[in-house]
Amino acid sequence: MKVLLFIFLCVQFYFAEIINAQTLPTETQIKIYIVKQQLEQLSLLEKLVNINSGTANIAGVYQVGEILRPFFQQLGFKTYWVEEPSYMQRAGTLIAEHLGTKGKRILIIGHLDTVFAKESSFQKFKRHGNKATGPGVIDDKGGDVVILYALKALQNANVLSDMNITVVLTGDEEDSGKPTRISRKPLFTAAQHSDVALGFEWATLPNTATIARRGAAHWQINTQGSGVHSFEVFQKPAGYGAIFELTRILNAMREQMSAEKSLSFSPGLILAGSSINYKKNYFGGEAYGKDNIIAKTAMATGDLRFITPQQEINAKKKIAKIVNQHLPTTTAVVNFQEGIPSMPPTASNIELLKKYSEASISLGYGSIIALDPALRGAADISHVASITQANLDGLGPVGTGAHSEKETLDIKSLPIQTQKAVILMYRLANDH
């Protein structure tokens, strides 16, 4: 009899808990659900991080996507892969669509790949108290699990059913297939049917989000000199040689352009000598030269970062002008390659940040401010910044050391960032 009474009381308590949970305000239900799911969320992140998905490891990228795909399907999303042409040698993009008619049409952006190759020594998730390290733990597998559990919280609160959400998880964010007009076509298509874009790259600081991201372009400068005996250097007709010409250009760029706000440029590779062999696909090359021969050829490659399209145009014009002012008996040319556009700090982005900050304050986490765009690189959200009405990035977990073997997650931030993101989504769907 006592056993039956105990069972009866347990059942009554169970149903009382369900009723109490269902009668709580929606945002409170969401917050409680995420707290309860945080260990499960961290466990899934560990599973994803332990799968190598460096951009070139196409099988690994697909494996990560296929682990996430059933979760979206269980939430009522239609999922499918959009493949890139085989010559790009990149994984496709995983799309998850949930059609609805309520509130803003939300585009959610993450990615499945990391910068760590299959041969990298940095392969596994490791926990160190309230920190965790591992490839992609914040960039961007941490962001992917924030996305997933935000959506699970919406479903648990019975508010997902009429929301219009498209999730785009690219397979080659870290080294996109070229041209991007093809590799980013799924993202462009989704943006054309969305009002707001939310990016889930990691948060640099817990009280910041990203309303602007600098774009990235790539440049290559090639110089030529006489290649004769070094005793003739600085004299006619031998001149100065390819190395002096290249260093003149780079130093003039530094002197004339380095003080401009939000603009940066960095030479990442230099080859010079009597002959060079640049292997673009291997990000390196070979050079041959002798001390007593004036360098006949030199080259440098690097990137260019900018906050607006006009700043990019102006910077390229300045570089071209510097390149065309040759030292005696030298020549030089510069070529610019396609990169990622910028995401300027528009008024609508600022307003979206305000809504995100209000969500954070209501959860008890304080206000959110805009991160200095000079502290971030480029990202996929920049490709659609000119298409959607408003854009906000840096909604993933808090961490440091991205793109290095010191990539570290602040574990406590995982549920907090999920809560802030999902409250923002909920309010966007309800026109708050």
pLDDT tens for 32-79 read 999 999 999 999 999 999 999 999 999 999 999 999 999 999 999 999
> Mean pLDDT, to the nearest integer, of 147-173?
97
Quick one: pLDDT at residue 47?
98
d(CA 418, CA 98): 19
Quick one: pLDDT at residue 283?
77
Compare 236 and 13 and report the one with higher pLDDT: 236
> Mean pLDDT, to the nearest integer, of 323-350?
95
Quick one: pLDDT at residue 82?
98
Among 8-17, 114-123, 211-220, the range scoring the smallest mean pLDDT is 8-17
pLDDT tens for 370-428 read 999 988 888 999 999 999 999 999 999 999 999 999 999 999 999 999 999 999 999 99
Is residue 20 scored above 80 in pLDDT? no
Quick one: pLDDT at residue 281?
73
Q: What is the SS3 assignment for 372-394?
A: CHHHCCCCHHHHHCCCCCEEEEC
pLDDT tens for 182-234 read 999 999 999 999 999 999 999 999 999 999 999 999 999 999 999 999 999 99
> Mean pLDDT, to the nearest integer, of 313-327?
97
d(CA 415, CA 421): 10
Average pLDDT score over the chain: 93
Q: What is the pLDDT confidence band of residue 23, given thresholds at 50, 70 and 90?
A: low
Among 70-84, 285-299, 308-322, 372-386, the range scoring the smallest mean pLDDT is 372-386
Q: What is the pLDDT confidence band of residue 94, given thresholds at 50, 70 and 90?
A: very high
pLDDT tens for 230-287 read 999 999 999 999 999 999 999 999 999 999 999 999 999 999 999 999 998 777 899 9
Domains and CATH numbers, the chain: 24-213+343-429 (3.40.630.10), 215-340 (3.30.70.360)
d(CA 173, CA 242): 35
> What residues pair up with 110 in beta bridges, in sequence order?
169
pLDDT tens for 373-384 read 988 888 999 999
Backbone angles phi, psi at 182, to 5 degrees: -95, -50
Q: What is the pLDDT confidence band of residue 117, given thresholds at 50, 70 and 90?
A: very high
pTM, two decimal places = 0.87
Q: What is the pLDDT confidence band of residue 24, given thresholds at 50, 70 and 90?
A: confident
- Nearest one of 227, 197, 232, 189 to 213, comparing CA atoms: 197
